Amino acid sequence: METKKAQTTMVLMFLVLIIFGMLFLFLLSFADTFNREDYVEQYVSDLLLSLVRTDTGYSDEFCKSVGNAMASVFMHPSYFCGTENCEDIAISRVGYYLDRFDLLKQNFEYFLRVEPQTGVFRDENSIPIEFEIGDEAVVQADEKFTAKQIISQGMEIFEATLYIAYRD
């Protein structure tokens, strides 16, 4: 009789513990906090958009904005705006501007690639033109953030892709 009573008490205690455990899990489900990853996704997307729209300081239509200069790397590879050619303008502006953003500079590595969507562009030696800046290893990183932006110039369309990944 006494053994049965002790067993009943133990079972009751166990049930009480289960109820408290469930209550804990129920309360935990309300813990919906700010998602930092969403913020970084938005950040990298806005960064690429702003970068492409930024003026280079030249009024020439082939290199007026950073986006124009990127497109001209493919379309007019030997063209000069002032004393700089389009590729030098694009590389110097991208590097300078991305360096101004502390969040990116302190926590992330980046890789920027621009690809033509309407065919392959070749230089005078018939070598396909590529435009890439940064550390290509970022593309292979497990945890990375990606933003894409379309650049159109004349009849041609290019896609700029910015990858960022946390520094090791």
Partner 1 sequence: MPSRNRPVKARGAKTLSGQANIMEYVLMTFFIFIIVVALIIFLSAWQVSQMEITSLGSFSERAIENLDSLKSTMYLLKGASMSVTSMLDDSKLTALMHMDNLCDNIEKLFGSNFYFEVRAFEYSESAESSDKECTLVDYLDCNHWSFCRDEDRPATSYVMPVNIYRKTLNDGRTDIGMLRVGVYGD
14 binds partner 1 (CB under 8 A): no
- Token digits for 57? 């300081």
- Report the residue from 11, 14, 18, 53 that binds partner 1 according to the rule CB under 8 A: 53
Q: Kindly state the helix (H) or strand (E) to which residue 157 belongs, with its residue range.
A: strand 156-166
166 binds partner 1 (CB under 8 A): no
Nearer to partner 1 (CB atom), residue 65 or residue 116? 65
Nearer to partner 1 (CB atom), residue 1 or residue 127? 1
61 binds partner 1 (CB under 8 A): no
**Count of positions on this chain that bind partner 1 (CB under 8 A):** 39
Q: Which residues contact 48 (CB under 8 A, 6 or more apart)?
A: 112, 147, 148, 149, 160, 162
- Report the residue from 54, 88, 144, 161 that binds partner 1 according to the rule CB under 8 A: 54
Per-residue string for binding with partner 1, 127-156, x by CB under 8 A?
------------------------------
CB 79 within 8 Å of CB 62: yes
Q: Which residues contact 105 (CB under 8 A, 6 or more apart)?
A: 98, 99
CA 154 to chain centre: 27
- Report the residue from 25, 29, 31, 120 that binds partner 1 according to the rule CB under 8 A: 31
Q: Contact region for partner 1 (CB under 8 A) — 72-80, 100-108, 129-137, 160-168? A: 100-108
For tokens 């000069």, the residue is: 80
What whole-number distance in Å separates Cα of residue 92 and Cα of residue 111?
A: 14
Nearer to partner 1 (CB atom), residue 73 or residue 121? 73
Neighbours of 133 (CB within 10 A): 17
What whole-number distance in Å separates Cα of residue 116 and Cα of residue 11?
A: 70
Interface positions with partner 1 (CB under 8 A): 2, 6, 9, 13, 16-17, 20, 23-24, 27, 30-34, 39, 42-43, 46-47, 49-51, 53-57, 59, 65, 92-93, 96-97, 99-103
